[in-house]
Structure 1
Amino acid sequence: MATDVTVLRVFTDSAGEFGNPLGVVDAATVPPEDRQPLATQLGYSETVFIDLPAASKASTTAHIYTPAAELPFAGHPTVGAAWWLRAQGHPIHTLRVPAGIVQISYDVGAEQLTAISARAEWAPEFAIHDLASVEEVLAADPDDFPDDVDHYLWTWTDKNAGEIRARMFAPDMGVPEDEATGSAAVRITDYLSQDLVIIQGKGSRIETQWSSDGWVRVAGAVVDDGVRHLD
Structure 2
Amino acid sequence: MSPTSAPAATVHVLRVFTNARGQYGNPLGVVLDGASVPAAGRQALAARLGYSETVYVDGFADKGGSRKVQIFTPTSEIPMAGHPLVGTAWLLAQQDGTPPEFLVQPVRLDNPVPCAVSGARARIDVTPSTAPDWELEQLADPGAVESAAVPGRGEHWQRTLIWAWDDAHDEPTVRARTFAWAWGVEEDEACGSGVVRLAALLGHGVRARTGRGSVVEATMRPGGLVRVGGRVVLDGRREEPVGA
Q: The TM-score by the shorter chain falls in which range?
A: over 0.9
Q: Indicate if the aligned counterparts of 1:170 and 1:176 stay in contact, CA closer than 8 A.
A: yes
* Aligned AA (2:149): D
- Quick check: 1:73 aligned with 2:73? no
Aligned partner (choices 190, 198, 201) of residue 191 of structure 1: 201
Aligned partner (choices 20, 25, 49) of residue 26 of structure 2: 20
- Quick check: 1:146 aligned with 2:155? yes
Aligned partner (choices 152, 156, 160) of residue 165 of structure 2: 156
In the alignment of these two chains, the number of paired residues is 228
Offset from partner CA, 1:150-194 (integer Å, 9 cap, x none):
111001113861111100000010001000011101100101111
For residues 228 and 114 of structure 1, what CA distance do their matches in structure 2 show? Answer: 23
Q: Indicate if the aligned counterparts of 2:93 and 2:117 stay in contact, CA closer than 8 A.
A: no
Offset from partner CA, 1:198-218 (integer Å, 9 cap, x none):
110001011111136320000
Question: Which residue number corresponds to residue 43 of structure 1?
Answer: 50
* Aligned AA (2:141): S
Question: Which residue number corresponds to residue 130 of structure 1?
Answer: 138
TM-score (norm 2): 0.88
Question: Which residue number corresponds to residue 112 of structure 2?
Answer: 101
Offset from partner CA, 1:71-122 (integer Å, 9 cap, x none):
0100000001101111111521111113231011122xxx762100000101
Q: Aligned-residue CA RMSD in angstroms?
A: 1.9
Q: Indicate if the aligned counterparts of 1:62 and 1:96 stay in contact, CA closer than 8 A.
A: yes
For residues 126 and 91 of structure 1, what CA distance do their matches in structure 2 show? Answer: 29
Q: Secondary structure at the match of 1:48?
A: strand
* Aligned AA (1:118): V
Question: Which residue number corresponds to residue 15 of structure 2?
Answer: 9
- Quick check: 1:120 aligned with 2:131? no
Offset from partner CA, 1:132-160 (integer Å, 9 cap, x none):
11110011112278358411100111386
For residues 211 and 86 of structure 1, what CA distance do their matches in structure 2 show? Answer: 23
Structure 2 spans left out of the alignment, 5+ residues: 1-6
* Aligned AA (2:12): T
Post-superposition offset of 1:126: 2.4
Q: Secondary structure at the match of 1:88?
A: helix
Kindly report structure 1 stretches of 4+ aligned residues shifted beyond 4 Å.
none
Question: Which residue number corresponds to residue 67 of structure 2?
Answer: 60
* Aligned AA (2:104): R
Alpha-carbon spacing, 1:141–1:2, altered in 2? closer, same or farther (3 Å): same
* Aligned AA (2:68): T
For residues 148 and 195 of structure 1, what CA distance do their matches in structure 2 show? Answer: 24
Q: Indicate if the aligned counterparts of 2:166 and 2:173 stay in contact, CA closer than 8 A.
A: yes
Report the structure number with the largest CA radius of gyration: 2
Structure 1 spans left out of the alignment, 5+ residues: none
Aligned-pair identity in percent equals: 40
Alpha-carbon spacing, 1:103–1:36, altered in 2? closer, same or farther (3 Å): same
* Aligned AA (1:106): V
TM-score (norm 1): 0.93
Alpha-carbon spacing, 1:55–1:69, altered in 2? closer, same or farther (3 Å): closer
Q: Secondary structure at the match of 2:212?
A: coil
Q: Secondary structure at the match of 1:225?
A: strand
* Aligned AA (1:49): Y
